[in-house]
Amino acid sequence: MPSNNNNDDKAFLTYNQQMKKLRNDKKIACNNSPHKQILVRAGYFNVINGYKYPFTCGKDNNGNHVYIPNANIDQIYKVKLFDDNLRSLLLKYITQIEEEVRTLAGYKFDECNENGKIAWYDISAYSPNSTLQNRMGTISKAYYELSKSQLDYVKFYMDNHKRIPTWIMMKVVNFSTFIDIIEYGKTQVSHSLCKLYDMKDRNGFPNVKLLIGSLHWLRRIRNSCAHNERIYCISRSSKKNTHSGRIVEQYIHSLRPAYTRNREQQLIDLFIYFKYYLPPKEYRQFISVLKKMLFDLKKDIDPIAFNYVRAQIGIRNMDDLDILVNLPKKNIDYNKFDKT
């Protein structure tokens, strides 16, 4: 484990020295074999540097973090384990939603292009309202990503057929490219998805901004989960002319006003987007598992640390999860998708 001196040099510390540093310098209880095992298995950086913030309460005159009383490595490790489990839970649902939306979009893309007669690499397969640059750029990215694919079925179509079917293209291209295909594709594609998932604006029209913005947030979090990054505190502020930042839609409006005042996207926004993409029964199951994870963490760590984690997720009050799950939600009628 590296340690900083005044010259910001890095020095190697044995595990016992790491434990001593935690006790003496940071006042974090770390003094037995189970504690040492945490450092050996997970690493000082991954545990302490990664998950110390819920247990800090400011800095001293030298700029070093001050920790809350009775902070110990067990509790810090509990936050890491919570984050690991949260990452797995979210990745499970995000990949499920991604696969479903890719499949549905591919179907609708072909349907509104003369049942597939107009190929996905034809500019006329996309919306005339999108710029030529956006259409050509999307097609170019899709071609490039297909050409780099090592999947057997992609190589088979490349070698034995004149063109790659839309369903293969939709399945293989990067998530960001797929979102571009929806955004720059014909309006029937995006509008049919909005109708299926009941994404409407205040006037009852298809809320394409919500569709595209939610998919981008799913993509961002999926990538963070896949790269094993810290996830409970992920956030993104609104930037002009981008799909980042909080989308104030119907469910947020149904929660306490603090949610609409905050324009920063957090994990709570993902939980809200899940309400659109998951059937009610699956959504209730997701919230049930999430709540159990949160309440288990609440029992295991200091209240100050728990409130920090809860706030970083974006949950103003734990009761808001119950409010969210009980808000009216239409069942997703997949059987009528081919009629939209």
Alpha carbon 70 to its chain centroid, in Å, reads 33
> Which helix or strand (DSSP H or E) is residue 178 part of?
helix 175-184
Sign of the CA dihedral with 170 first, then 172, 175, and 178 last? negative
Domain assignments of the chain as residue spans, ordered by start: 15-77
Residues of the chain with confidence (pLDDT) below 70: 1-10, 238-244, 339-340
The predicted pLDDT at position 25 comes to: 86
At residue 101, the 3 state secondary structure works out as helix
Are the C-beta atoms of residues 127 and 187 closer than 8 Å to each other?
Answer: yes
Give the integer Cα–Cα distance in Å for 264 and 213. 13
Comparing CA positions, the residue from 336, 295, 335 lying closest to residue 319 is: 295
Note the pTM of the prediction, 2 decimals: 0.91
Specify the DSSP class assigned to residue 56: E
Give the integer Cα–Cα distance in Å for 276 and 280. 9
The predicted pLDDT at position 279 comes to: 97
Query: The tokens of 335 are what?
Result: 């059987």
What's phi and psi for 185, nearest 5 deg?
Answer: -75, 180
Q: For 77-134, how does the pLDDT look when each residue is reduced to its tens digit (9 = 90+)?
A: 999 999 999 999 999 999 999 999 999 999 999 999 999 999 999 999 999 999 999 9
Q: For 309-327, how does the pLDDT look when each residue is reduced to its tens digit (9 = 90+)?
A: 999 999 999 999 999 999 9
In Å, the largest CA–CA distance within the chain is: 72
